[in-house]
Structure 1
């Protein structure tokens, strides 16, 4: 048993093969990162308009983006730590992907939609696991992991 993934398709246009691809990739990434089986995440497929609203509301950037992650385990100054939930499934967070943007970027980068979607899903999961790319060193680590996972799955650039 791998991750428990709740898929939400706001576009109402995704096919079963899309869900299967993302599920397989996220489970491969979780396995490589040592994530325990049964951890839960949600993956939402949306469009540019909706992700722009989310980006504006949560990040203060009034423009569409490709993927946004909301980690549920970040405990910072303004966060509340939940006590007594040790026996509950680990909730990693939410990944929101703009399918429109994924298609645009696939064409722009000259690779398949599946490769771009896979990249965005893995990128989102790594953010949920605490990876970031704010510095050059962080970016090097995170992007190397993404490339390794995508290559192992067979989605080379």
Structure 2
């Protein structure tokens, strides 16, 4: 089971209990969808546009706000030993701008909950090794995102 730690470091967009419950669900569904059952820990940090712009500039060289950033901490190349009574391994950190998520939800005509969950699944798939550099990769990621979101009632 994946332990999800959510930190809200912004005060511009309210974080409801509904959002927090949905985040737990989509993380669990993503891990189940990908067949991952070993204990892992994931950090999700909710920030504003100014904070994510600073991080985007520092780590990607793009001086503009973005919606989501993922930072992998677990090296999937190394062999892991199943944790028996130990702390779960840390998979990584996903950072989401709630301001950007709210903007995009309005632009796409769906709820903030759906957008935040979409960005969480997107970031988590990156941590699990998926990318969208090619059209084929983009289609695969998009298909997985939509499958996972539909399992929690957040399909388009």
TM-score, scaled to structure 2: 0.89
What's 2:44 paired with?
A: 43
CA-based RMSD: 2.0
Mapped partners of 1:112, 1:86: distance in 2: 38
1:119 and 2:96 are equivalent in the alignment = no
Mapped partners of 2:39, 2:76: distance in 1: 21
Q: Deviations over 1:22-56 (max 9, x none)?
A: 11111111111112242101000110000000000
Deviation at 1:86, TM superposition (A): 6.2
What's 1:54 paired with?
A: 55
What's 2:102 paired with?
A: 103
Q: Deviations over 1:84-142 (max 9, x none)?
A: 97645222100000000000000001111111111001001000000000111111111
- Unaligned ranges ≥5, structure 2: none
Question: Pairwise mapping of residues 2-151 of structure 1 onto structure 2 (< 5 A)?
Answer: 2-12=1-11, 13-74=14-75, 87=83, 89-151=88-150
- Residues 150 and 62 of structure 1: CA distance in aligned 2, closer, same or farther (over 3 Å): same
- Unaligned ranges ≥5, structure 1: none
Deviation at 1:73, TM superposition (A): 2.6
Deviation at 1:146, TM superposition (A): 0.2
Deviation at 1:6, TM superposition (A): 1.1
